[in-house]
Amino acid sequence: MISNQSTKIFYLIAEGHNYNAKLAKFLKRSKATLNSQLNELKKAQLIEGIKKPGNVTEYRINFDKLAELITAIIKETDQKYTKQKTKKEEPDLTKIEKSFKTALNSDFFQKRLKEHFAFCANQNIAIERSLEMFLKAVSSLNKDEIKRLDKDKAKIFLLVYPYARTFSMEDMLFNPIYILKQKILSK
């Protein structure tokens, strides 16, 4: 579980506050205090630090780790809401994770996720919960809405859509899905 302060920093990094000094100034905290929270995020592998010239580190969201978390959410939800399954019916989690890694490393999904994270930051929503909300938004698009996406976006979207559809709609209490759905569809 990530602390509230570290979650806030995660969302700020998603918004483009990628450097320690910029984060410290924005949050009005010392760099030392900030470093412990950045270390918490690095330890959880949610962010990665890239060394830049001048002994400066640029922080970025680790979208591969988010794909792993989404896969874990799908697995947990699938086990929670399905009856006895045969071995053939069990989801191929390796395939699901690979599809999400490909999709989340596309500009299309990264832009939508960053917009979604900005919304979640303002609502004080935990990272795992924000990923659940994202899955629900993806799964709630219907065929006509998917057809509105251009060919390249639709191709990326369809990599993850079948897996998101397995995500239970009943598990969501907070529902800003319509707004996120419109952002996914926006050009």
Looking at the DSSP bridge assignments, the partners of residue 49 are 59
Which CATH number is associated with domain 4-61?
A: 1.10.10.10
Domain spans of the chain, in order of start:
4-61, 63-185
Report the pLDDT value the prediction gives residue 175, as an integer from 0 to 100: 42
Sign of CA dihedral 86, 92, 96, 99: negative
> How high is the pLDDT of residue 168?
43
State the pLDDT at residue 56. 87
Give the integer Cα–Cα distance in Å for 128 and 117.
Answer: 11
Q: What is the pTM of this model?
A: 0.76
CA distance 175 to 187: 23
What confidence tens digit (pLDDT) does each residue in 99-122 have? Answer: 888 888 888 888 888 888 888 888
| pLDDT tens readout for residues 13-43 | 998 889 988 888 888 888 888 888 999 999 9
The pLDDT of residue 94 is 83
Mean pLDDT, residues 114-135 taken together: 86
pLDDT for 159-174, tens place per residue? 676 666 554 444 433 3
Q: Which pLDDT score is estimated for 64?
A: 93
Across residues 73-97, what is the average pLDDT? Answer: 66
